[in-house]
Structure 1
Amino acid sequence: MKDVLPRRARPVDRPGGMGDPGTPGKFGAYGGRFVPESLVPACAELEEAFRDAWSDPGFQSSLATLLALHVGRPTPLTPAWRLSAELGVNLLLKREDLAHTGSHKINNVLGQALLARRMGRTRLIAETGAGQHGVATATAAGLLGLRATVFMGERDIERQALNVFRMRILGAEVVPVHSGSRTLKDATSEAMRHWVSSLEDSHYCVGSVVGPYPYPWIVREFQRVIGDEARGQCATALDSGSPDYVVACVGGGSNAAGTFAGFVNTSAKFVGVEAEGGAGASAGRVGVLHGFRSLFLQDDDGQISEAHSIAAGLDYPGVGPEHAYLRDLGRARYVTVTDAEVVDATLRLARTEGIVPALESAHAVAWVIRAAESGELPACANVMLTLSGRGDKDLSTLMELL
């Protein structure tokens, strides 16, 4: 498929990546805008509207106020004292699980909802896997007087029934997707198809650093608040002023991108942790899906393979284009953990720190445990881990497994 972005502007990037990709919308060899011609004007309008809003102190002030008064930002940086003692490292948890609605998703959604209202849109369209993005979208719609339609795979509706009920209580229409694997990939495809037919009144509120440009950049900038806060908190909490390692789970990769962005100009090593069955950055090949070029799980014929993860939010066969770029640069490393390691990490964090993480977040915890116990992490290393969400939504899954 042809990239329909113009070539007139050059990227404006930082030495370590994570800057403004410019009009080409490229992160190295990745990104771009591979969409039908009917969506080109909508994407261009969105880029222009975001640039205008992001440079407007009034927009920034409105978003900051909502993040403080409605979301509860800044979220704390919590020392994991008992687990740190067991592992021989100094583990700090950036507590996005304590944000309103229970995850980092609300940061991006409130920003996009404000932007949509500024653009004169009256409805938000969203896709969701674990349901947290859907809940955040329904929440923002209710807060700002917008309508919300959320597409969700039939399989994810079954395993995330609590979040589906929350969305409906908040007034959102939840549309089951019965095609394909009936998970996040298929929900995203259906949401994009619906967006094409409702451009006049609807804004597609993409939930991760994926999709056609400018979405990967927009979502990362709205999630940058995580990394910016954490860097300031680490400067106070650590004698060194900065952690040795910054760790986050990765599906599409929004919480990781937002976290890494705050530390991109430090010496901290970045580790993105994927599900073993959905390892786009670790095991993917270059391809195009959902309007962008990145690394995707594919078969020998180049067809997108079905992903698997115990965590619905990581059940995606690829990774955001900026993560693929960070991997190529050597700025970030991407690793995988198994479902069994994730369940063990969930229990261990719960029983040492009194925190039940989302299964997505537990992927990052699982890698830290494995790396510390194997000696891969140096003794006394300072590790900052973004705990992207809380585990209430996953209790039925854990009950079945345990």
Structure 2
Amino acid sequence: MSLVSVKDGYYGQFGGSFVPEDVQNVLNILAEQFKKYKDDPEFNEELSYYLKEYASRETPLYFAENLTKQLGGAKIYLKREDLNHTGSHKLNNVLGQILLAKRMGAKRVIAETGAGQHGVATATACAMFGMECTIYMGAKDTKRQALNVFRMELLGAKVVAVDKGNGLLKEAVDEAFADLVQNHENTFYLLGSAVGPTPYPEIVEHFQSVISKESRAQHLEKEGKLPTAVVAAVGGGSNAAGAFANYIGDESVRLIGVEPAGAASITKGVPAVLHGFKSLVLQDEEGNLLGTNSIAAGLDYQSVGPLHAYLHETGRGEYVTVTNEEVLEAFQILSKVEGIIPALESSHAVAHAIKLAPTLSPEDTIIVNISGRGDKDVEQVFEMLKK
């Protein structure tokens, strides 16, 4: 559960809901159902069952001894969300929302995806619960993540390649919302990141907070204290929201979000409305969206979840950027030193940890959220390194 106060759907000045009235009515029902079930013992017992028996939670907090020795300085722990069923943190939120959808009587589920991990997780859950599934994905991303497209189709989902605009995550979200507007009476939009109109950011953070609930207890058991810092990649912000949630009230713990230098909504964005919510958005003085450039499809987004905009504005969160070159190097280093191939998204967090650890003392500890495994990215990285 969030330790940040969400008042009327706002984190400070960020959040809210800016959507057509008919969609707002659907969101109001969703908000009511979420409020009803999020603390319901029977709902949480069912969710806990699927998280444990189906998603393989809890995930380990692994001491990266080799990487720690190589870098010097702080001890590095890896929160192994890559070991979740489907290979990323995405299933945490999907299982929570699919159980809401089931209770709301939905027969059809739609979702957006960038790197494909949320799409795979959604298609997986829909297959298990017998629901019709449509996934919207930017045309450029379908080429970058062709293996995940095949996985979704194998799981029975219809994948719609969106070739409008830049053909990236933003356009996939556009189409998913357009679908919801047309089909809101029988469709549940299972949003994957901590973005969108309220109550989605709060819902996603709530279901992803299992990450920090586990890592906090695991770190206390291993070290007898809280970590010095928690580091996570930030695009829309779901894995970072989950990794930070249960530390927000612990002022001694640094919360560090890592953005791509070419898609840095927090460090370069301005307050504006996109996709039905107010946050920091990459746009020019005329309000035109700026282009993004990240080798990680899941981080190629012009905005960020309102929780992160709020943590940045209040100074509770630190947000930094890394370059594509640093990410590629981190991808290879973790693979060679620890035998763990991280997703390109997660490699952003690894890249910053590689810089941060040597500046700290051996008594310090860093938790790096490995939000996903890199199988989906190996072919893409192979081509980039070949060039």
TM-score normalised by L of structure 1: 0.94
Aligned residue runs from structure 1 range 289-328, under 5 A: 289-328=274-313
What do the CA deviations read for 1:286-307 (whole angstroms, capped 9, x no partner)?
A: 1110000000111121211121
Q: Contact 1:164/1:174 (CA < 8 Å) preserved in 2? A: yes
Which residue, 353, 370, 380 being the options, matches 1:387? 370
Which residue, 82, 91, 107 being the options, matches 2:66? 82
1:237 aligns with 2:218: no
Per the alignment, in what secondary structure is the counterpart of residue 86 of structure 2? Answer: helix
Match of 1:58 in 2: 42
Q: Contact 1:270/1:331 (CA < 8 Å) preserved in 2? A: yes
Match of 1:284 in 2: 269
**In 1: Cα distance, 2:313 partner to 2:241 partner:** 15
**Aligned-pair distance for 1:378?**
4.2
Which residue, 7, 28, 32 being the options, matches 2:16? 32
1:164 aligns with 2:129: no
Amino acid at match of 2:323: T
Amino acid at match of 2:132: R
Amino acid at match of 1:265: G
Q: Contact 2:233/2:240 (CA < 8 Å) preserved in 1? A: yes
Per the alignment, in what secondary structure is the counterpart of residue 51 of structure 2? Answer: helix
**In 1: Cα distance, 2:357 partner to 2:32 partner:** 45
Per the alignment, in what secondary structure is the counterpart of residue 100 of structure 2? Answer: helix
Match of 2:175 in 1: 190
Per the alignment, in what secondary structure is the counterpart of residue 149 of structure 1? Answer: strand
Q: Contact 2:357/2:366 (CA < 8 Å) preserved in 1? A: no
**Aligned-pair distance for 1:214?**
0.2
Q: Contact 2:139/2:167 (CA < 8 Å) preserved in 1? A: yes
Q: Contact 1:79/1:93 (CA < 8 Å) preserved in 2? A: yes
Amino acid at match of 2:81: E
Per the alignment, in what secondary structure is the counterpart of residue 231 of structure 2? Answer: strand
What do the CA deviations read for 1:127-146 (whole angstroms, capped 9, x no partner)?
A: 00000000000001011111
Where does structure 1 lack aligned partners over 5 or more consecutive residues? 1-13
Identity %: 51
What do the CA deviations read for 1:116-174 (whole angstroms, capped 9, x no partner)?
A: 01001011100000000000000010111111100000000001000000000000000
Q: Contact 1:123/1:148 (CA < 8 Å) preserved in 2? A: yes
Per the alignment, in what secondary structure is the counterpart of residue 182 of structure 1? Answer: coil
**In 1: Cα distance, 2:228 partner to 2:373 partner:** 25
Amino acid at match of 1:33: S
**In 2: Cα distance, 1:127 partner to 1:71 partner:** 21
Where does structure 2 lack aligned partners over 5 or more consecutive residues? none
Q: Contact 1:230/1:262 (CA < 8 Å) preserved in 2? A: no
What do the CA deviations read for 1:171-221 (whole angstroms, capped 9, x no partner)?
A: 000001010110000000010000111111110010000000000000000
**In 1: Cα distance, 2:121 partner to 2:337 partner:** 29
**Aligned-pair distance for 1:372?**
3.1
1:200 aligns with 2:185: yes
Match of 1:273 in 2: 258
Amino acid at match of 1:246: V
**In 2: Cα distance, 1:57 partner to 1:146 partner:** 24
Aligned residue runs from structure 1 range 1-400, under 5 A: 18-22=3-7, 24-88=8-72, 89-239=74-224, 241-266=225-250, 267-373=252-358, 375=359, 377-400=360-383
**In 2: Cα distance, 1:332 partner to 1:143 partner:** 37
**Aligned-pair distance for 1:19?**
3.5
TM-score normalised by L of structure 2: 0.97
Amino acid at match of 1:56: D
Moved over 3 A (4+): 17-20, 377-380
Aligned length: 383
